[in-house]
Structure 1
Amino acid sequence: MFQGLLKKDFLLIKTYLWIWLAGVVLLYAAGASFASYRDRFDLVFPFLIALFAGHAVILPITAAILLKAEEKGQYWLHGTAGGKKLLSSKLLISAVVTIASLFVTNVLTLFSLWVSEFEDYSIWPHGEFPLFEGVLFNGGVLFGALYFAIWGLFLWALFHSMSQYPGLKRFRWIIIIAVYFITQTIITRIAEWSAVKTFLQSSSFQVGSPESNIGQFDGVRFTMSSGEFLVWPVILSIVGLCLLFFAAGWLLDRKVEV
C-alpha cells in the first residue's frame, strides 16, 4: 500500500520535477553566459549560491503541490492508509525531488570549478578539497527544507481539522499564524536561558580547520573559517520535527474534510 502511495505521488510531481530541473539548468546557463560575456567565469558562482539557497523552499513547495492534490480528491477520507503513511509518502517524494535538484546543482558547481581552473587546492584548509564540509552544507540545506516542509504539513493538518468547528472556521488563518509565531517565540525565549544555553553547547565537534584560511582567486581575496557543529540543537530539532509530524498524522487520522 505504501509503495502505491509513493508511486501515486511521484506521478503527480514528475512533470514538475522535469520542469524544475530544466529551470535549474537554464538559470545556470544564464549565469554562465553572463560570466562568459564578462570574461570572468567565476561570476557564475553567485547564480549557484542563489540556486542552493532556493532549495530551502523546493521541498516545502513540492509537498504543498501534493497536499493540494490531496485536498481535491480527499483521498484519505476513502482510503485505508493512515495519516502518517499518507504524509510520509509526500515527504519522501518531496525529499527525492530536492535531492535530485541538489545533485544537479552540485554537478554544475563542480563543473564551474573545473572550468574556472579553481584547482589550486592551496586555498583550501590543509590543501584539500573540503568534501566533508560540502556534504555537511548540502545536509544543512536539506534539513532546513525538511524543517519548513514538516511545519507546513502540521499547519495544513491543523488548519483542516478546525473545519469541524464552525466557531473556529472563519478564524483558522489567524490561529495558524498565531500557533507558528507563538511556538517560535517560546522556543527562542527558552533557548536564551543560561542553563539551556550551557546544555545546548555542551556537545560539539569542529568542522574543518580550527584556523582561518585566507585565499585568493582571480584577484578576489576571501577568508574561510571553520566553526563548531553543535549536536544537541540538531538532535532536539529532529525530535521536535518528529513530534510535529506525528501530530499532523494524528490530526489527519481524524478523517477531517477539507
Structure 2
Amino acid sequence: MTSIDLNADLGEGFGRWRLTDDERLLSVVTSANVACGFHAGDAPTMRRVCALAAARGVRIGAQVSYRDLAGFGRRAMDVPPAELTAEVAYQIGALEVFARAAGTRVAYVKPHGALYNRVVRDEEQARAVVDGVVLADPTLPVLGLPGSRLLELAAKAGLPAVEEAFADRAYTDEGTLVPRGEEGALVTDPGAVLERSVGLARGGEVVALSGRRIGMRARSLCLHGDTPGAVDLARRVRDALEASGVRVEAFA
C-alpha cells in the first residue's frame, strides 16, 4: 500500500497571540513542524505543542528559520554561514529540551519560509543549514524540496534526506514553489487541494501553474496551518488520501 506523511507548521505564535490551531491540527497530521522562536514561537508555546504532539503520537520536527520575527521568516536575509550554522543548531537544541520533557525527541528538521526557498539553490546557505543540523544531531533527517541543494548536501553529510511536496502551493515548471507574492502562488480551492494531494501520493506528479504536469515524488505532504479553514481542509485531505488507498503515517 502507498503511504505518505502529513506535516503542518505548528506553534506559530508567541505570548497571547496564536496563529495556528495546534490542538486540532495535531489530531490530523503525523508530523509537526514546530516553530523554534526565530520566525514565530516562544518557550511556553514550544513546550505546549511538544506536550500535545507527544500525547498524540505525532512526530516533532524543528522548523528552523532566519531570525525574523517581525517578517515571519519570509523576508530575504543574508546571514553569514557560520552564524546561520550556529543559529540552526541553537533552534534545534531549544526545541529538543521541550521534546525530551514531553517524553520524546526532535525527529527531523525543516527550514521555514525564506530560508526554505533560499536553500533550494544557494549552496553556501544550504551547507550552513546542514552543518547546523550535524552540529545538533548528526542522525536527524532533513525535510526539503525534491532536487534542492539542501537535500543533496544533507545526503552527502550522511543525514536522511526526505522529499516533501505541498498540497496548497503552486509550482513552477522547474518544480520549485511559485513565490508567495505572485498571483496564483497559493492553492485555495479545496477541491483542487484534495485532487493534488491524491495525485502527489498516488501518481507522483503535480500540475504546475502553467498547466504542465511535472514529476514530484515525495514522502511527506505539507499543509499550511496558517490558512483559513486549515483544520477542516487537513481533515478532508487525510480522508481523501485514505479513501484512495493511501496509508497516512510518519515517514520512516
Compute the TM-score of the two structures, normalised by the length of structure 1: 0.29
Q: Which has a greater percent of strand?
A: 2
Q: Which has a greater percent of helix?
A: 1
Compute the TM-score of the two structures, normalised by the length of structure 2: 0.29
Q: Greater RCO between the two (CA within 8 Å, min separation 6)?
A: 1
